[in-house]
Amino acid sequence: MSLDLIPRTAYNEDHEAFRQTVRRFLQEEIAPNAEKWGDDGIVPKSIWPKAGELGMLCPTVPEEYGGLGLDFGYNAIVDEESSYYGRVATGFSLQSDIVANYLVSYGSEEQKKKWLPKMVSGEVITAIAMTEPGTGSDLQGMRTTAKKDGNHYVINGSKTYITNGQNADLILVCCKTDTEIQPAWKGVSIVLVEADREGFKRGRNLDKIGQDEADTSELFFEDVRVPITNCLGEEGKGFIYLMSELPQERLSIAVGAQASAQKAFDDTVEFTRERKAFGKPILDFQNTRFTLADIKAKLQVGWAHLDWALSRHLRKELTPEEGAAAKLWHTELQWEVMDKCLQLHGGAGYMNEYAIARAWRGARVTRIFGGTNEIMKELIGRKL
């Protein structure tokens, strides 16, 4: 089953041609391996260059750095199709939608030339390390430090819940380069740390309730020395950079949530049409039809809003509050759809052999990462 392409206003013919490439990749490269990767708890690094060959990684990177110089719509299509397929969280979106933008926007010429071509090809896998064991959405409260020692930083601290943590070759580490300055956000910088640096260690691949194949990890930094030239952009501007890039990250989450919700709905319609109770299909019961009709109406609204937000973002007009609102609304819709669709599966919905069970587990995190939905409400509320 494929994502039913109702007329979309955010995309053009080139976008839709690219969509077919993404679908073939998912069918040929991801589908045959999904179950094994879930059991292994990690997607192998070998799949990344295959995605890179097809232009699926970091499509917005300018041509002079090895990319295709395309718009975010191509990223969104990868996100939509991958989320609609639903069985594997590859980590591609973290690299394409988030990390690449930081390097393009704030990286030095040397950093761009060194890292971006390898990110586009899939030779290098990246992560961004924000969250710490004692701090979640409060980035100003981070304790990881990068202290100057001659022409180097010495980094100490730990991070947790880091996507691509086991596979990453390069980590963008959010840390305090000034622990005395007030307000605290002025002391935050982003420093590039190569995974082969002495003193850097990966912790365990964390045991999650969903997205079993995603390598989400703890990272430790013990006197890790990196040259000062590894600072991304200006020292002390890290928090500003983070705030500037979050609207795209949150829109990316909204895109995935909407497509995931659509997949759950489509699967449930098919299930209730085939499964019988009291001698007739479950779909013939009014409660089932009304529940699904309500979901269908909300999904229709969701796609219209998503195209509005995507179009705004492609014109560089999407505000931080609008990005937060998109993340809030679409992930809340995703959870509502997942829960109702699982209920319509009855006992089968509680069995991991059914797609709805895996989707339901995997969806729970979207209201948490990228900033919790409670924080989204706070961000929107501040501008009232």
Residue 198 Cα distances to 125, 156, 225, 281, 383, angstroms: 19, 12, 7, 62, 45
Contacts of 365 (CB under 8 A, 6+ apart): 208, 210, 211
| DSSP conformation letters of 8-43 | -SS--HHHHHHHHHHHHHIIIIIGGGHHHHHHHTS-
Encoding tokens for residue 285?
């019961």
Candidates 35, 249, 332, 353; catalytic one = 249
Q: Count CB atoms within 10 A of the CB of residue 297.
A: 10
Residue 75 neighbours by CB distance under 10 Å: 26
Closest to 4 in 3D by CA, of 71, 56, 86, 80: 80
Backbone φ, ψ for residue 217 (5° rounding): -135, 165
Contact 177, 152 (CB under 8 A): no
Place of tokens 């195209």: 307
Any catalytic annotation for residue 35?
no
User: How far, in Å, CA of 215 to CA of 127, rounded?
Assistant: 11
Query: What is the pairing mode between strands 126-129 and 145-149?
Result: unpaired
Residues in the chain: 384
Amino acid at 354: Y
Half-sphere exposure of 223 (CA within 13 A, CB side): 0
C-alpha–C-alpha distance, residues 366 and 301, integer Å: 19
SS (H, E, C) 183-252: CHHHHEEEEEEECCCCCEEEEEECCCCCCCCCCEEEEEEEEEEEEHHHECCCCCCHHHHHHHHHHHHHHH
- Name the amino acid, one letter, at 251: L
Pairwise CA distance, residues 141 & 176, whole Å:
10
Which residues are known catalytic residues? 249
